[in-house]
Structure 1
Amino acid sequence: MRQTTQGRSTNSTIKDVQNSCDERGIAIQKVGVSDVHLPFLIKTKSGSFQSVLAKIKLTVDLPQEFKGTHMSRFIEILSDWSQKPVSYREIEYMLTDTIDRLQAKRAHIDINFKYFIEKMAPVSGFKSMLDYDCVFSGNLVRGGHLDLLFGITVPFTSLCPCSKEISQYGAHNQRGIMKAKIKQQPGKFIWIEDLAALMEEQGSCQVYPLLKRGDEKYVTEKAYENPKFVEDVLRDLVLTLRKIDGIEWFEIECENYESIHNHSAYATHIECVES
């Protein structure tokens, strides 16, 4: 066996075990890498990009005759693409690249990341950054079109209509979250900033990272004048998503972290939108 100067064998003489034949007759639908943390560049509505820390899962299918896949190639692909601003088209290119380099029929990717949007306090006008948990989940079959889901989690404030109705003064309110996953028609796309803004309008009031006294008065009174059950928030969000051009399917969840109970109020809805 020929040795390198460090006393190790060269790649040409190392046996490729993962490329050997497997005789158990079991194909694997998804095999690859998970919990890969890399900096990624996400395209913004303003035309620039935002650098985020992404947690990624990238997989391909594996025919029954192959013993294993080439794990190092997944990291090579992700490292290459982490330096380029990512949106719908780039994810399609990334999965096409994965299919070609892994000689697969299909590839799948989940990119989870925190996205920051500047918020302006409603009275004082002070600006601050609010973080949103987001995910791009893409699936591509060789020769086909990208099947992409976009998900986002948005915080909100809700005020209980029942509490307001039966109390002589005041009403209990709480922070909640809305989660939306949407699938759009090929060629259609909604910016993270736009979807977040539409969702925030469905609560009793928006959540702001930075509030002065005048702002706090405003959000308290706004929520009081706009009471909503978790069911109200969910239904209003359904009506809003139905109006977005090009949405084929969506799944939404709403959860109120109750302030007077040791449990949450929860609602969910899944819908295929008629074209």
Structure 2
Amino acid sequence: MTISEIKADSLQDVQALPDTRGIALDEVGVEGLRYPLLISDADGKKRETVATVTMSVSLADDVKGAHLSRFVDVLHAWRDELGSQAVALMADDLRQRMGSATARVALTFPYFLERLAPVTGIASFMDYTCTLTAVSNDRSDELVLGVKVPVTSVCPCSKAISDRGAHNQRGWVTIDARPRTAATGLWFDDLIDIAEAAGSSPLYALLKRPDERHVTMAGYDKPVFVEDMIRSVAEALGHDVRIAEYRIRVVNDESIHNHAAYAQIPWTPTTSTRNSTDG
């Protein structure tokens, strides 16, 4: 019998063997897997991207190992229809196929949006790092949308104390949000818009001279500390009825210091969530 003639069902399934040490595992899986997929945009249209993927399941104390090949099987089966609801269903599919109590799927990928320059209207694409995480168990499902958005920030103190000019730098606004349900309609575009509105100015891939002049002066007219940016983001997220909970981190890569400045808010329920709990 040649190697090609050996049937899969005749080979020993080592992962399915029992384990007698009595130690359950919270997560067993694969990470750092890069995979092409189609992700929905805010209008439901599919966009091509490449995700870095982490997938895991819990492992009972009497099971030796997880069948790692099934992670890629599930990912490939769902790769061309990924949105909030689909990722939640993919995590549940993984959980059931692996016979586990809990499954987790995390996808991190560049998400491109077309932006128009503020004066000339010339178009270009900006990329944003986005993360979509789904957890499925036999009690409930959890979904988290994450974005990391670059902005320009002009220092209010520098502007106030200087005879001319003010130092500015690249800032990063990171938002993680738990939608109330996968069907709320909340998407990356919404979080990106909130983050960009909090900075002194958004960034653009392409600017002509009139655009650069506009962006420079607009930023100067709206100086913000990291404290200002994070409070503006929190205010917007806190009143969004589609969101159950959020966390925020803002970092400025300071241009006149050899350190960064940051502010952060841990997981916080929105106003509507607090009201529903109180009521």
Q: TM-score, normalised by structure 2?
A: 0.93
Stretch of structure 1 that moved more, 165-174 or 87-96: 87-96
Q: Distance in 1 between matches of 2:163 and 2:11?
A: 80
Alignment partner of 2:162 out of 164, 167, 190: 167
Aligned to 2:149: 154
1:1-275 matches, within 5 Å, as 3=1, 5-6=2-3, 9-82=6-79, 84-142=80-138, 144-186=139-181, 187-270=183-266, 271-273=268-270, 274-275=274-275
Following superposition, the deviation at residue 8 of structure 1 comes to 5.9
Stretch of structure 1 that moved more, 235-244 or 122-131: 235-244
Please tell me whether the aligned partners of residues 252 and 260 of structure 2 are also in contact (alpha carbons under 8 angstroms): yes
**Secondary structure of 2:185's aligned partner:** coil
Identity over aligned residues, as a percent? 36
Q: Distance in 1 between matches of 2:9 and 2:215?
A: 67
**Secondary structure of 1:201's aligned partner:** helix
Q: Distance in 2 between matches of 1:103 and 1:183?
A: 26
Following superposition, the deviation at residue 188 of structure 1 comes to 1.9
Q: Distance in 1 between matches of 2:106 and 2:43?
A: 24
Following superposition, the deviation at residue 244 of structure 1 comes to 1.3
1:172 counterpart letter in structure 2:
H
Q: TM-score, normalised by structure 1?
A: 0.94
Q: Distance in 2 between matches of 1:151 and 1:162?
A: 31
**Secondary structure of 1:47's aligned partner:** coil
Moved over 4 A (4+): none
Following superposition, the deviation at residue 7 of structure 1 comes to 6.6
Please tell me whether the aligned partners of residues 15 and 66 of structure 2 are also in contact (alpha carbons under 8 angstroms): yes
Please tell me whether the aligned partners of residues 175 and 191 of structure 2 are also in contact (alpha carbons under 8 angstroms): no
Q: Per the alignment, do residues 33 and 262 of structure 1 end up closer, same or farther by CA in structure 2, a change over 3 Å counting?
A: same
Q: Distance in 1 between matches of 2:163 and 2:107?
A: 49
Q: Distance in 1 between matches of 2:89 and 2:157?
A: 51
Q: Distance in 1 between matches of 2:144 and 2:10?
A: 43
* Per-residue deviation, residues 147-190 of structure 1 (Å, max 9, x unmatched): 00110001111111111111111111111110000111123231
